[in-house]
Amino acid sequence: MKKLIEYSFILLLTLILTNLYGQKKTIVASASMMADMAQNIAGDLFDVKYIVPRGQDPHLYKPTPSDVVMVEKADLIIINGLTFEGWISKLIANSGTRAETKVISDGIQPITSEKYKNSYDPHAWMDVNLVQKYIDNILEALIKLDPENKETFEKNHAAYSRKLTELDQYILDKIKEIPESKRILITSHDAFAYYGRRYGLQLEAIVGISTEAEVQSSDIIRVHKVIRESEVPAIFMESTINPKILRQIAKDNKIVIGGELFADSLGEKGGQADTYLKMLKYNTDTIVKGLTTNEEVDSEKLKDSGSIGYLSYLFLALGLFAIVFFVIRKLNKG
């Protein structure tokens, strides 16, 4: 008993000292893609968190009280910038945080809007080559915050940079498998312009850069015309956007949904697109397959995979009934 008490005391003391002296500093990123990049450079020296949950639309996100607390406690805040997180300046101001905010798209020449003056396309991470600048900015911020671990950050940066270079070349080579006349990517919103520019695809989207934009009849007519003239075999839905209009367009033109693409959020943990590198590879493989075959993807299943279906509820109810029945029998026997 004495040894148990001594062991418990030592364990408690260790936990207290760890909390006081060994607590990791925290990086808070606006979205999951940026958080994943930061984690690769920081390694296990920082806790890395992100504000917008996976699967949610950062364009439309509304911060919660817990987000305010998270930002207030941050040691470093990293954001994409280029108007991607229109709500974040107010969130940071309201939090009262003393953390530095690092805009990791700094130094990138953005794609400008043809319709609106001083409006930029924020989706620069869709060009893997440009993400080299993202991680340069992250490295700079980490060294400034924690200069003692400069060598570790630089080593992690170099390793991740090599992976980005390999992925960039993979995409360049993979897209060449699509016949030139079919290199047309039709998606829900205009998130793939950087991707198309880098890898040689014509982009056609239902709505503009922000998902807040309303669908116009002229956009629908334009997309229908592109499909008829190019005879593309597939169009693609996005993970954070309701696919209803895309499904109707596919049906009207007798073409298939080629798959689900990820742009504004990583996929769920454990999935095929749960890191930045995996997301861009998955998107590329999905696009190439969709534009080189006529294989239909079950788009209903894709969008509903994260919810509990009718049968799941039924089995859950039966399980609860069985537990209640068992408890009642045991009480009656007692």
Average pLDDT over residues 223-236: 89
Give 256's strand partners. Answer: 234
Name the DSSP letter for residue 51.
S
Query: Are 207 and 77 found together in one domain?
Result: no
Q: What is the pLDDT of residue 250?
A: 86
Do 244 and 196 contact (CB within 8 A), yes or no? no
Mean pLDDT of the region 314-332: 47
pLDDT-above-70 percentage for the chain: 75
The encoded tokens of residue 184 equal: 């047309």
CATH of the domain at 121: 3.40.50.1980
Residue type for position 106: D
27 versus 222: which is more confidently predicted? 27
One domain, residues 138 and 160: yes
Least confident of 88-102, 246-260, 314-328: 314-328
Q: How many CB atoms lie within 10 A of CB 91?
A: 22
**What are the φ/ψ torsions at residue 5 (nearest 5 degrees)?**
-65, -45
Among 141, 172, 203, give the residue marking a domain's end. 172
CB 262 within 8 A of CB 283: yes
Answer whether residue 158 shows pLDDT above 70: yes
The helix (H) or strand (E) run that includes residue 203 is: strand 202-207
**One domain for residues 319 and 255:** no
Note whether 241 and 280 are same-domain residues: yes
Which pLDDT does position 242 carry in this prediction?
A: 62
pTM: 0.80
The predicted-structure confidence for 188-203, as pLDDT tens digits, reads as follows: 868 999 999 999 999 9
Confidence of residue 162 (pLDDT cuts 50, 70, 90): very high
Q: Which domain holds residue 333?
A: 309-334
> Residues 6 or more apart from 2 whose CB is under 8 A from it?
none
| Whole-number Å distance between alpha carbons of 263 and 278 | 12
- Tokens 């009642």 correspond to what residue? 328
The owner of tokens 């520019």 is 197
Name the band, by pLDDT with cuts 50, 70 and 90, for residue 273. Answer: very high
Would you say residue 228 has pLDDT above 80? yes
Tell me how many domains the chain contains. 3
Residues 16 and 161 in one domain: yes
Q: 159 and 216: one domain?
A: no
Question: Is a pLDDT exceeding 60 seen at residue 301?
Answer: no
* pLDDT tens digits along 56-112: 999 889 999 999 999 999 999 999 999 899 999 999 999 999 999 999 999 999 998
**272 plus 286 within the same structural domain:** yes
CA-only gyration radius of the chain, Å? 24
Tell me, yes or no, whether 30 and 149 share the same domain.
yes
pLDDT band at 304 (very low <50, low <70, confident <90, very high): very low
**pLDDT band with cut points at 50, 70 and 90 for residue 117:** low
Mean pLDDT of 134-141: 98
Q: Reply yes or no on whether the pLDDT at 261 is more than 60.
A: yes
Buried b (16+ CB within 10 A) or exposed e, 49-86: bbbbebebbbbebebeeebbebbbebbbbbbbbbbbbe
Tens of pLDDT, residues 3-56: 444 444 444 443 443 444 458 999 999 999 999 999 999 999 999 999 999 999
CA dist 250 and 288 (Å) reads 18
pLDDT above 80: residue 239? no
pLDDT at 284 over 80: yes
